[in-house]
Structures are given as C-alpha cells and as structure tokens.
Amino acid sequence: MPAAEILPPMSAADDIAGLEPIERIRRRWPMVLAGALTLLMVAGLAHELFGDGLAVLSRDIPRSPGYYIAFALLYMSPPTFDWIIFRKLWRIPLSGLGALIKKRVANEVVFGYSGEAYFYAWARDRMKMVAAPFGAVKDVSILSAIAGNAITLAMLVLALPFAANLLTATQFNTVAGSAAITFAMSLPFLIFSRRVFSLPRATLWWVFGMHCLRLCFGSIMIATAWHFAMPDVSLGMWLFLAAARLLVSRLPLVPNKDLLFANFAIILIGQGEALSELVAFTAALTLLAHVGFIALFGVQALVRRKA
C-alpha cells in the first residue's frame, strides 16, 4: 500500500492568513451598515420631499426672523444634547455632531431606532475612540424613552384637570389608558435596572436629566417659533400648546395624534386654517433641513475622497 500522504503542519502565520478575510469583514461591517442606512435616508427624504413637502413650502411662510432662529435652535437641540452626553461618556470630537445629526434624520425618515444603529456603526468604526459602544448607545436610547415618558406623565398630571372639560368621555378614557400604558412601558426598565443598564448609576441620572432638559428646551423653542409666526397668540398659550403637542405625540392609544392636537389647539386659540398651515410648514421646514444636511455631508465625503 502507498504510504499516506503527510501534510505539513500549519504554522501560526497560516492561521492568521486564514482569518484575514473574516477580520476584513468585521472591520468593514460598520461602514457597510452606515452606507446602507445613508442610502435609505436619501430615499426616504426624496419620497417625503416630492410628496407634500415642496407643496407646503410654496405656501405663505412666516416672515419674522425670530421664527427661523427659534426653529434652528429647535432643530439642533436633539443632536446637540446627544453630543453633550457622548462627549462626557466618550470624549467624542465636534465631528461627532455630524453623525448625531444623521442619527436624527435616520430615526425620522427611515424607521424608529435606525439612527441608533447608524450611530453604533459610526462608533464601532472608530474603536480607538471607544472600546465598547453598544452599552452606552443602548443606555442613552432607553433613558431617552424613559425621560419622554416621565415628562409626558408629569404633563398629564398638570394638564388633565384643565383639559377635562375640553375632552369627551371617550377621549378622556383614551388619554387615561394611554397614561397607564406609558407608565407600564417604563416600569420594567426601572425594576430590572441593574440588569438592563451598563453605565454607573450617577452617570445614568445625569443622562436622564440631560434628556429631560432637551425635551423642555425643545418645547420652549417650538412655542417661541410659533409665537413669532403668530404673535397675536400669547407666548404662554403657545407654551401650553407645545406641552400638549409633546404629550399627544407620546400617547400610545391615540390613532391620529396630529388631528387630536390640531383640534385641541383650534379649540383654545381658534384660527384653524392658519394654525394648520403653520404646523405643516414647520414639518416641511424640518424635512428641508434634513435634505440640506444630508447633501452637505455628501459633498463633504466627496471632498475627502478626492483630497
């Protein structure tokens, strides 16, 4: 019988060479995921823009510069507060603000929490900056939802006594049921907080406080913007309506949140057509800002490739 062929033993260099394709895949998946989500952002923006976005922007627009200043502060508040949070957690540079703006755009035009996936991929692509990004991104996202629920419940306690006479019995029961579900959604995270969260407790409280501050600041800015657009309505009334808007946007059992808010606002201040156009214009301007930033980031990426 012929002697069995004896294969030479594999060296350590051969082992490493065999693992190189896997390592390349591991290194490239954050870039691939970020690129795919960017393409989805562009597609979503195009769909929204060529739907009702351009038609709304062609209508009568607010003329006061104060409206646009307040709107700019409103638009930049979510990524700016996120940058402050991750600056404390990771010491991210100012360039990280661009990734956080993309995170906001993805959440609003692609699907919920796709922005978190994009930002996680961005952080993984910069492993020298942060060693374990998943835990922090997860904690910050959960705390954002809990802060929104907490602010919603606090406003419900303050608003329901005044709004009881403005709501029908069915609407009041719907709001009360939504409040119970909102509380129940946050309860498991609080009960099992030691297993859910990875950041230190003091840091978690600080992040929660920053999210609450962001929500309050956003409500003040949108009320200020609306006041500059319709100055005949008092700023105090706009602040009340901004709180109602934040409240309605987070109620889980309400089928048509925009319609409920519009009806509630019209009952309080009247001017139904002007108010509806203002709300629609603010939404369209937000979409236009999304388009502008995505175009700017695209040009920036092309310049870096050619450099």
Q: With respect to residue 10, please indicate whether it lies within any of the assigned structural domains.
A: no
Q: With respect to residue 7, please indicate whether it lies within any of the assigned structural domains.
A: no
User: Which range scores top for mean pLDDT: 61-70, 103-112, 153-162, 283-292?
Assistant: 61-70
Q: With respect to residue 234, please indicate whether it lies within any of the assigned structural domains.
A: yes
Q: With respect to residue 6, please indicate whether it lies within any of the assigned structural domains.
A: no
Q: With respect to residue 11, please indicate whether it lies within any of the assigned structural domains.
A: no
Q: With respect to residue 1, please indicate whether it lies within any of the assigned structural domains.
A: no
- The two tokens of residue 274 are 């002007």
CB 257 within 8 A of CB 178: no
Q: Using one digit for the tens of pLDDT, what is the confidence trace for 252-284?
A: 666 566 666 766 677 666 666 677 778 778 888
Confidence of residue 291 (pLDDT cuts 50, 70, 90): confident
Q: Is the pLDDT of residue 287 over 80?
A: yes
Confidence of residue 88 (pLDDT cuts 50, 70, 90): very high
User: Which candidate, 301, 298, 291, places its Cα nearest to that of 108?
Assistant: 291
Confidence of residue 131 (pLDDT cuts 50, 70, 90): low
Q: What average pLDDT does range 227-238 have in this prediction?
A: 85
Per-residue confidence (pLDDT) for residue 16, from 0 to 100: 39
Query: What residues make up the domain containing 68?
Result: 20-306
**Cα separation of 174 and 294, whole Å?**
39
Instruction: Pick the range with the lowest mean pLDDT from 6-15, 30-39, 241-250, 260-269.
Output: 6-15
Per-residue confidence (pLDDT) for residue 156, from 0 to 100: 73
Q: Is the pLDDT of residue 55 over 80?
A: no
Q: What backbone phi and psi angles, to 5 degrees, belong to 10?
A: -80, 135
Q: What average pLDDT does range 87-99 have in this prediction?
A: 89
Alpha helices (runs of H) in the chain, residue ranges in sequence order: 12-48, 54-57, 65-90, 96-109, 114-124, 133-163, 169-191, 193-196, 201-229, 235-249, 257-269, 272-306
Q: With respect to residue 266, please indicate whether it lies within any of the assigned structural domains.
A: yes
**Cα separation of 285 and 69, whole Å?**
13
Confidence of residue 165 (pLDDT cuts 50, 70, 90): low
Per-residue confidence (pLDDT) for residue 191, from 0 to 100: 83
Predicted TM-score (pTM) of the model is 0.76
| 3-state secondary structure at position 250 | coil
Cβ within 8 Å of residue 286, ≥6 positions away: 75, 108
Share the mean pLDDT of the chain.
75
Instruction: Pick the range with the lowest mean pLDDT from 51-60, 93-102, 115-124, 191-200.
Output: 51-60
Q: Is the pLDDT of residue 67 over 90?
A: yes
**Cα separation of 246 and 219, whole Å?**
7
CB 45 within 8 A of CB 294: yes
Residue with more model confidence, 68 or 171 = 68
* Long-range contact set of residues 47-55: C-beta below 8 Å, sequence gap at least 24: 48/109, 48/287, 49/287, 49/288, 49/291, 52/280, 52/284, 53/284, 53/287, 53/288, 54/284
User: Which candidate, 133, 262, 257, places its Cα nearest to that of 199?
Assistant: 133
- CB-count burial class (<10 Å; 0-12, 13-18, 19+) for 233: buried
Q: Using one digit for the tens of pLDDT, what is the confidence trace for 198-229?
A: 899 999 999 999 999 999 999 899 999 999 98
Ramachandran region, residue 109 (left: φ > 0; alpha: ψ -120 to 50; beta: rest): alpha
CB atoms within 10 A of CB 289: 17
- Give the number of domains in the chain: 1
Instruction: Pick the range with the lowest mean pLDDT from 52-56, 105-109, 111-115, 296-300.
Output: 52-56
Q: Is the pLDDT of residue 54 over 80?
A: no
CA atoms within 13 A on the CB side of 149: 19
Q: What average pLDDT does range 133-162 have in this prediction?
A: 82
* Residue with the two structure tokens 């979409």: 287
Q: What backbone phi and psi angles, to 5 degrees, belong to 78?
A: -60, -50
Residues of the chain above pLDDT 70, percent? 66
Residue with more model confidence, 158 or 75 = 75
Q: With respect to residue 204, please indicate whether it lies within any of the assigned structural domains.
A: yes
**Cα separation of 294 and 240, whole Å?**
33
Instruction: Pick the range with the lowest mean pLDDT from 91-105, 167-181, 184-198, 204-218.
Output: 167-181
- The two tokens of residue 188 are 């498991």
